[in-house]
Every structure is written in structure tokens, then in C-alpha cells.
Structure 1
Amino acid sequence: IGKSVYWIKNGADGIINVFPFTCIPGNIVNAISKRIREEYKIPWLNLAFDGLEQGTTETRLEAFMYQAKQYMKNKK
């Protein structure tokens, strides 16, 4: 979370949190990220992987990239 806030304060246009499905620290960040996302009004995507291919990942990444581009345009 600390490094994410650092990147947000230093100009990031979005945050992607990728973590193993059963990772306790990853799940904690997943839970806390909603608060950070709302506080900084920045696009944030949590991606948990269990080793199997997930068909929705590409769609979620495309939607995130669209949001990040909009965020970047509105920031200027």
C-alpha cells in the first residue's frame, strides 16, 4: 500500500495489484485498496491469479487502461 501511495503521489495514472490467489498480504491489499482508490480517485485493478488462465483478465485490463487514460486526460 505504501509504495502504491508513493506512485500515486508521484504521477501514476493507475495502479495494478497482481497477487497469487491464496496470498494473505495480497488479499489484505485487495481489501484496503478500495479505500485508497476512493481517497485518491485513481483507477485501481486487483488481479488474483490461481495458476489457471482466466478469460476475463484481458477485458479487465482493457477497461483499466481506458480508465487510466481518462484519468490522465482529466488530470491535466
Structure 2
Amino acid sequence: MGPKSPVVARSSAALSVRAIKEAAAASQTMPLQEAFRTRFVWEEKRMHSADAQEGPLAFVEKRPPPVDRPVRRPVG
């Protein structure tokens, strides 16, 4: 199986980029230790997404992740 299709890669990346932007914007004025302790909404959604769970599982099972399934986005 080849690399992820552009559509799947873009939608997976979109969730990660949104999580990064939220954390960066919200933590700009926080002390470093507080920023590391803070739970950010979009990072929580990213961590619990189907892609975040499938990637490590595919790695452990030494197989490529499926690219033919629709991307599941978290609700919210």
C-alpha cells in the first residue's frame, strides 16, 4: 500500500494544525510549567481521534494504516 491519499493526509493534518494553533495562542501568556499542564480542547480531540489510535496500532502490527476508510473527525 502506498502513502496516504492527499485527501486523508490533509484532513488528518487539519486536526493537528488546529490543535497546535489553539495551544500556541492560548499558552502565549502562560508560564511554561502552566502551559505544559494545561489541557487544550483540540489537542484532546486530536489525541482521541481514530487516526491517532490507528497510527500506533498499525506501527506495532507492522502494517500500513488503511487509507481507504473515511476520516473520522471528532464531534464538537
TM-score under structure 1 length normalisation = 0.30
Larger Cα-atom Rg: 2
What TM-score, normalized to structure 2? 0.30
